[in-house]
Amino acid sequence: MSALRPMGSERWWVWLFLLPTLLGLALGTFGSIFATIGLSFTNWDLLTPPQWAGVDNYADLPAGRMFTKAFWNTLAFSGLYVPLTVVLSLVVAIGLNRRIKGIGWFRVMYFLPAVCSPTATGLLWNWIYAPDNGVLNAAVTAVGVSPVSWLGPRMALYSIVVVNVWGAIGGGMIIFLAGLQAIPKEYFEVTRLDGATAWQRLRFVTLPALAPSLFFQTVLTTINAFQAFDYIYVLTSSGNGNSTMPTLVFSIYRSGFRFFRMGDAAAQAVVLTAMIFALTLVYFRLQKKWGEA
């Protein structure tokens, strides 16, 4: 083992080779995070020097119509998207974690959306959801129900959640499949010999063993939920840079890059980050609790 540890002057070389990455991380990632936090306390229009604004940008957020609408949309979207994605990708992973004929083919099919360009598949969904020539409305009217405006204001949230979940199941499935295959087969054999039901095996063997994957996947899905943009843009964007279902990412982009309000956009971005951070902390707590139980 000790052969892998850098010795003497090698240490310098290690640092030297790590330097570009570390610098990039320090300046690029942390630098922009701190810059965003700093800017959120200023009024900055990009073209003239920033002016100190104290907490004004934050204080004004609750009254901003564009922000509040986007805020609630983002929460509603995440509230549906995260549990659906995690549960469905787990179900698919369990279903595909077996030796049956053509299993590779099934896995590929489920994973395919994850490797397709959201812009291209978004267009496909546009056609599925189209009001007059759409696939879904053709099916709905065939059974005698009147056509639905799938991307209209009433249904857009649900239609968008469906597309995003569809696009995310493949990625989640891979994580869970890897987790499932790491569970020693003996556990299942022993429980089977002891007469455990399928449900008991899932509840007492599979899920506890998958806890790390579940945690990782939930955190990742939450982050994705708050940053979801591409499908929403392709399916709901309206001519003036807004959307039928604007999320915080829309609001941040418009405030900063279209409306010359970088300080305001930075404050919104900080709120978005704080929400993700708070949820991640909650997950950490839950994982600890679960781990101890």
- Of residues 86 and 266, the one with the C-beta less far from other proteins: 266
Using CB under 8 A, which of the segments 2-10, 92-100, 101-109, 250-258 binds other proteins? 250-258
- Among residues 263, 284, 285, the alpha carbon closest in space to that of 54 is found at 263
- Of residues 130 and 271, the one with the C-beta less far from other proteins: 130
Decide: is 66 part of the binding site for other proteins (CB under 8 A): yes
Site for other proteins in 125-184 (CB under 8 A): 126-127, 130-134, 149, 151-153
- Of residues 52 and 199, the one with the C-beta less far from other proteins: 52
Instruction: Check: CB of residue 244 under 8 Å from CB of residue 152.
Output: yes
Using CB under 8 A, which of the segments 122-130, 168-176, 180-188, 209-217 binds other proteins? 122-130
d(CA 56, CA 267): 10
Decide: is 291 part of the binding site for other proteins (CB under 8 A): no
- Of residues 69 and 201, the one with the C-beta less far from other proteins: 69
**Distance of closest approach, residue 37 Cβ to other proteins, in angstroms:** 19
Decide: is 24 part of the binding site for other proteins (CB under 8 A): no
**Which of 216, 233, 259, 283 touches other proteins (CB under 8 A)?**
259
- Of residues 170 and 256, the one with the C-beta less far from other proteins: 256
- Of residues 64 and 167, the one with the C-beta less far from other proteins: 64
| Binding residues vs other proteins (CB under 8 A) | 45-48, 65-66, 126-127, 130-134, 149, 151-153, 238-242, 244, 254, 257-261
